[in-house]
Amino acid sequence: MTRPIQATIDLAAIRQNYLLAKRLAPNSFAFAVIKADAYGHGYLRVARALAPVADGYGLINIENALAMREAGITQPILLLEGCFDREEVDVAVANGLWVPLHSAFQLDWLRALPAGGRPLDVFIKINTGMNRLGFRPEQAADVLAQLRQLPQVRVRGLMTHFATADDDEGIEPQLLRFDAVNARLDLPCCVANSAATLRYDVARREYVRPGIMLYGASPFADQSAEQLGLAPTMKLEAEIIGVQELQPGDRVGYGARFTASQPMRIGVVACGYADGYPRIARAGTPCVVDGVRTRLVGRVSMDMLTIDLDPVPQAGVGSKVTLWGGDGLSIDEVAAGADTIGYELMCALAARVPVVVVGE
C-alpha cells in the first residue's frame, strides 16, 4: 500500500484561468508563464493542455523549451531570463525561441549571428525600478539603434517587470519611466504580469505575461483567488494515520510548541515538509477534515503533521484531510499561515507526492 498522500492537478482549471486573462486583455498576445515546472504543476503537461488556446509561453530553461518543441508545440516561447551563453543564442534561433535582451554583453552574441539566416526574435528589457535585469532607460534608444543594424535580429518589442503591481504602490512610477522611454521608440509593449493583468487595464498592452493567476492563486494580499474569479488548480490531500488522546498539559511535536489546555483529540496526517508542506506553518493554519475546517497544532515534521480533531469528532484513522486547494480552502490561506505566498507552496511540492491529473 502506498503512503496516503496525493496532489490533484486540474488542467481544465488552468485553461479556464488562462482564458480569464485573455478576456481581461482581449487585444493582447498572452504568454502563458510555465516557469518553475509550471509552478509545480508540470510544465509539459500544462503546455500541452494549453496548446489549443495559448498564444505563446514563457519559461526560463532552454531545455524545457526544446522538450516542448519535440512534443510538437509550435507557438512562440519566450525565454524570460534570456540566453545564458553564446551557444544558447544559436539554439534559440534554430528553434524559433524569443529572447529578452537585457545586458550589453549580449549584443556581442547577436552580432556574431550569421546574416541571411532565420532572424532571432528579441525584446529589449528595460530596468524601470526592479533593479534585476534590464538596460537603464537612457540606454534604450542606443540599444535599439544597434539592433536595427543587425539583419539577423527582429525586434518584437520593449518589456519591463513591475516590483509592486501586487501592493498599494502599484505600477505608476515604473510605468511612467517605461512610457517615457517608449515615447521615443514606439515599440510594442510587454509589461503586465498576473497582478498587472488583473488590476490595471493601462498595463494590458500588446503582450501580457499571466503567471500565478493561471494556477488559481491570488497575487494580492487583499483579494482572494475566488474574488478574482480564479479556479484552484492544485489540491493537496492526505489521510489521518494515527490519533492521540491528549490531557491538559500534554505537548505535541518537535520543540513541544503546542500544549493542550483541555482534553482533546489530535490526528496525525501523512504529510510533512519533505512533501512540500511548509515547516514554519503556525499552529492554527487551516485544513479541512470531512468537510469541516480545523487547524494545525504543533510543529510540522518531515513526514507528518498534527491537527485538532475536536471540531470533527467523527474523524479518525483513514479520514481524508484537505491541506490546500479544495473544500473551500485556498492555497493562499495556507501560505498566510506560513508567512509566505501560494507560489512557494506550489513550487515546493515534492517529487515523492503522487500526482493525479484531471481535466485533460
Long-range CB pairs of 196-201 (<8 Å, 24+ gap) are: 196/162, 196/165, 196/171, 197/21, 197/24, 197/25, 198/24, 198/228, 199/165, 200/165, 200/170, 200/171
First-to-last alpha carbon distance for the chain, in angstroms, is 27
Establish whether 254 is a catalytic residue.
Answer: yes
Q: Which of 22, 35, 125, 235 is catalytic?
A: 35
3-state class of 3 per DSSP? coil
CB distance 162 to 171 below 8 Å: yes
The beta strands (E) that lie in the chain are given as 5-10, 29-33, 56-59, 77-79, 97-101, 120-125, 153-159, 189-192, 207-208, 234-246, 251-252, 258-259, 264-269, 286-289, 292-297, 305-308, 320-324, 355-358
Q: Determine phi and psi for 240, rounding to 5 degrees.
A: -75, 125
C-alpha grid cell, residue 356: 493525479
Query: How many whole angstroms separate alpha carbon 173 and alpha carbon 190?
Result: 16
39 is catalytic: no
Among residues 18, 57, 200, 254, the one annotated as catalytic is 254
Q: Which residues are catalytic?
A: 35, 254
